A and B are shown apart, each in its own frame.
Chain A
Amino acid sequence: MSAAIELTGITKRFPGVIANDNVNLTVEKGEIHAICGENGAGKSTLMKILYGLQPPDEGTMKVNGEEVRFSTPNDAIDRGIGMVHQHFMLADQLTVLENIILGAEPAGPGGVIKFKEAEAHLATVAADYGLTIDANDLIETLEVGERQRVEIIKVLYRGADILILDEPTAVLVPQEVEALFENMRDLKAAGATILFIDHKLEEVLEISDSITVLRHGKTVASMPNEGVTAHDLAELMVGSELPTPATEESTVTTEVALAVRGVTVADDDGRPAIEDVNLTIHKGEILGIAGVEGNGQAELVDALIGTASVSAGEISLLGEDITKLSVRRRREGGIGHIPEDRHHEGLLLEAPLWENAALGHQTQAPYGSRWLINRPGARQQTEAIKAEFDVRTPNIDVSAHALSGGNQQKLIVGRELTANPTLLVAAHPTRGVDVGAQAAIWEQIRDARANGLATLLISADLDELIGLSDRIVVMFRGKLVATVDPDTVTPRDLGAYMTGAASQNSDEGAAQNSDEGAAKNSGGPS
């Protein structure tokens, strides 16, 4: 039996970079195959080639034994290949069914869409692969994990039996990752072949049958999962041992950096998205916010950085009331921000890296002043970020879209940390970066913390949250429902609070606790 996918000698060059250098990859039918490698190793590029989004410069591709040449993703879909991108592409205001048939609507005479037929087909597809979904739910009501399932079903609906998932777990909380893996096992049992990219090595080891490691655009290993350890993988990926995050003493001071009092933010419909939120972060403290996405974290961030106005309450930074200040004034006053979605709120994809580094700091040295942009200063600072945060790029004049996902993330983290903020509002700061870079970013945040940085940390990665935070508060349905000590809490307990299965007293009590907790909590992150 021929392999599902056989890539031979794939080479892809971009200006200044060889993204894929004579890559070979064989994926057997019915297996789950993981692709690992550092940021910028060429993983996404290889998958895009396989999905017909980019033509290779050299090399041949075989699907089920037949040589193929794709010029568009439609050619790949015709061959049974489907891809779920890291950034979901669903229309919020449409239902699950509408999203799934979008672009391939089964039309009857007169162009009338045959919804009944489509729904029946969807039901069979979902049943065949053991995936559950309600066809008539609105996308905007779904949680991230469910949205991802919709993306997967959408691909299956079009007849794909070879699935490409680019960093599917990056946006998921652990429970959702478990659910995804269950789905993947069911898909495999139903005969599907799955190729996926993942930076979390334990996940790779848990779910994959085989693993291919890319490094600097070349295949350095391709092997069955048996007997491989995370240590081996890391060594193959970066060619050296992983730095282990060191334990550190608490640096929490008694000086209040951020105080949030009774803050309520209304959503578009006027309902409170967060309600009566109270929290305090001291200098040198990292406050973790745990919660399932969509429980008000985004609105809390917006209220802090100033992109949303609060309908009640007060926010103060170093004792100064900033509730009414503009985003710019807050940034100048020392608030840094790592957005949850780097493409949406973080980058100007068409602009060069040095302009991206300046974004958000363009009124301040070294990037600029009230009136002028300081081009040499901005460029010099960008070079410094590139070096210090290991942003892999030929130069700082390439546009941001030419960077790999992880390197884009490193650029953003770098630009925010080098500005020496008083308060860093960080949403998923290491989303999409490789293990080595993740450890480096943790280290950078810890160093800044030792120098008095106050951090509000939101992360879907509970290990990150527990490891980095001095104190964790849980957000549920727009309220802070619990305060926990990261030294003693288990991911399981945290999960119970996050899903509302457990709670501590009233919100009032939780808020009160969160204030007192800071002063007496002296345990550092583990």
Chain B
Amino acid sequence: MRSLAFNLAAPVGAFVLTLIISSLALVAFGSNPIAAFSDMLGHASELETQVEILNRATPLYLSAVAAAIGFRMNLFNIGVEGQYLFAFIVAAQVGSLVSLPSILHIPLILITSMVVGGLFSGIAGLLKVTRGVNEVISTIMLNSIAVAGLIAALQARWQPEQENFTATTLGTAPVDESGLLPDANGLVELFTPEIGQGVELTGMIFVAAIVGILYYVLLNKMRFGFDLRASGLNPFAAKAGGVPPKQMIVMAMFLSGAVAGLIGMVELAEIGRFPADPIQGLGFAGIAVALLGRNNPGAMAFSALLFAFLDVSAGILQSTQTATKEIVNIMQGIVLLAAVIAYGVTKRIQTREEAKATAEALREDSNDTVGVLS
């Protein structure tokens, strides 16, 4: 009971703190916080919005897991952004070139995205172990190479021929229907039959859930995950304990990039090709989601939903004019800070309470020569 209360205290505390500071920020911007919050909640209570939140949370979650794999090893993969965009365009192109039954076509595309993302990220790992290049620097550079160089070049090269180019058709050729992951509306229909026309829950939500479960299993059940965490906690002790440091760095960067590769598959499943103007910024947002969720698979799912909710709220705030849409970015920042503070404070209180409980237990024992409870 007690520990449950403590586990809840931090998120609840962070939530209350966020509400307070966000309200102050809204007031400072000349908006009415109550109106803004009720607009956001009202909007979020609609089924379409909820599906939209899940669709947004899915790539955010994948991005967070990708970042978290690195974080657990003290590797800062800042390159998720470039990895997913690069993997997206290559997987879209590969998918458009073949026609296969779905059962082969879909896995082919997903695996391509993971391999490309993994290899691209693995470059940073290789540079680190062979040349000692810090992964923060190399992944930032790989981001620029991917976004400004590779993708622009590939977009021009792979755009479908004999078409009149407009901004909306620029991009790769469309992937056959057989290569597109079906939507997950069936899942929604389990709860409510009223899923409207034109609303689609992304099928990638299942892939994200599987990735989350695998991430959990990897870290907590697998020897490789143990090695990964050990390297993050103390690389010297890990090395002396038989964990090969170089291999671990390359493998962790590869895995992180492989998960990153899946991020763009959400958009691919929706529109069927790499567009002229793909959704960007998911890689950086994922870092924030991973931080908020403290690399924990369950907590990151909640933070992805929270960030998605705030993202989706931007539109409604703008259309009802209750507040500027930038306020949601400010709120995302506030949530992060509030979480850090709340976790710090509850951790201290918890330690103190446990120590007191010990003292009482020992006194009741009246076993006054033993200082240690066993």
The residues of A with any CB-CB pair to B shorter than 8 Å are 13-19, 21, 40, 42, 57, 216-218, 305, 307, 326-328, 330-332, 337, 339, 344-351, 355, 358-360, 362-363, 368-373, 375, 392-395
Contacts and interface: CB of A to CB of B under 8 A. Distances in A.
B369 to A, nearest CB: 6
B351 interface: yes
B237 A18 contact: no
A393 B230 CA distance: 22
Nearest to A328: B242
Given A217-B371, A328-B242, A18 B222 contact: no
A42 B242 CA distance: 34
A39 B262 CA distance: 52
Nearest to B239: A307
Interface residues of B, number: 34
Contacts of A373: 220-223, 225-226
The 9 closest A-B pairs by CB, nearest first: A328-B242, A13-B355, A216-B371, A360-B241, A15-B354, A348-B233, A359-B241, A345-B240, A217-B371
25 contacts: A13-B356, A15-B355, A16-B354, A17-B372, A17-B373, A40-B371, A57-B355, A216-B369, A216-B371, A218-B371, A326-B242, A345-B239, A346-B240, A347-B237, A348-B237, A355-B226, A362-B223, A362-B241, A363-B223, A368-B223, A370-B223, A373-B220, A373-B223, A392-B372, A394-B373
A394 B361 CA distance: 12
Contacts of A355: 226, 230
Contacts of A42: 371
A18 B241 contact: no
Contact of A345 (B236, B371, B372): B236
A204 B236 CA distance: 34
Given A16-B358, A372-B221, A326 B244 contact: yes
B28 interface: no
Nearest to B243: A328
Nearest to B219: A373
A37 to B, nearest CB: 11
A327 B244 contact: yes
A373 B222 CA distance: 5
B7 interface: no
A359 B371 contact: no
Contacts of A330: 242
Contacts of A332: 242
Contacts of A345: 236-237, 239-240
Given A346-B240, A394-B372, A15 B351 contact: yes
A344 B239 contact: no
B374 interface: yes
B234 interface: yes
Contacts of B240: 305, 307, 327, 337, 339, 345-346, 360
A393 B223 contact: no
Nearest to A218: B371
B12 interface: no
Given A327-B242, A359-B238, A362-B223, A13 B233 contact: no
B143 to A, nearest CB: 31
Given A344-B237, A345-B236, A348-B230, A17 B242 contact: no
A305 B237 CA distance: 12
A22 to B, nearest CB: 11
A371 B223 contact: yes
Contacts of A360: 240-242
A21 B220 CA distance: 38
B227 interface: yes
Nearest to B241: A360
B359 interface: yes
A395 B358 CA distance: 13
Given A218-B371, A363-B242, 5 more contacts: A15-B355, A328-B244, A348-B233, A368-B223, A372-B221
Contacts of B224: 371
Contact of A394 (B236, B239, B374): B374
Contacts of A349: 233-234
Nearest to A40: B372
A307 B239 CA distance: 7
Contacts of B227: 362
Given A40-B372, A371-B222, A373-B226, A18 B239 contact: no
B362 interface: yes
Interface of B: 220-227, 229-230, 233-234, 236-244, 351, 354-356, 358-359, 362, 369-374
Given A359-B237, A368-B226, A16 B373 contact: yes
B233 A350 contact: yes
Contact of A15 (B230, B238, B358, B371): B358
Contacts of A369: 223
A166 B180 CA distance: 66
Contacts of A344: 236-237
A312 to B, nearest CB: 23
Contact of B372 (A16, A218, A362): A16
A215 to B, nearest CB: 8
Contacts of A371: 222-224
B237 A17 contact: no
Nearest to B217: A372
A18 B230 contact: no
A359 B241 CA distance: 6
A484 B106 CA distance: 72
Nearest to A331: B242
Contacts of A19: 371
A359 B354 contact: no
A373 B221 CA distance: 5
Contacts of A393: 372
Contacts of B242: 326-328, 330-332, 360, 362-363
B233 A372 contact: no
Nearest to A329: B242
Contacts of B351: 14-15
A350 B226 CA distance: 13
B229, B351, B355, B369 — most chain A CB neighbours (10 Å):
B355
A372 B222 contact: yes
A18 B240 CA distance: 33
Contacts of B239: 307, 327, 345
A305, A344, A362, A371 — most chain B CB neighbours (10 Å):
A362
Nearest to B233: A348
A460 B109 CA distance: 61
Nearest to B355: A13
Contacts of B226: 355, 358, 362, 368, 373
A337 B234 CA distance: 16
A348 B224 CA distance: 16
A93 B19 CA distance: 49
Contacts of A15: 351, 354-355, 358
Contacts of B358: 13-18, 394
Contacts of A362: 223, 226-227, 241-242
A18 B229 CA distance: 31
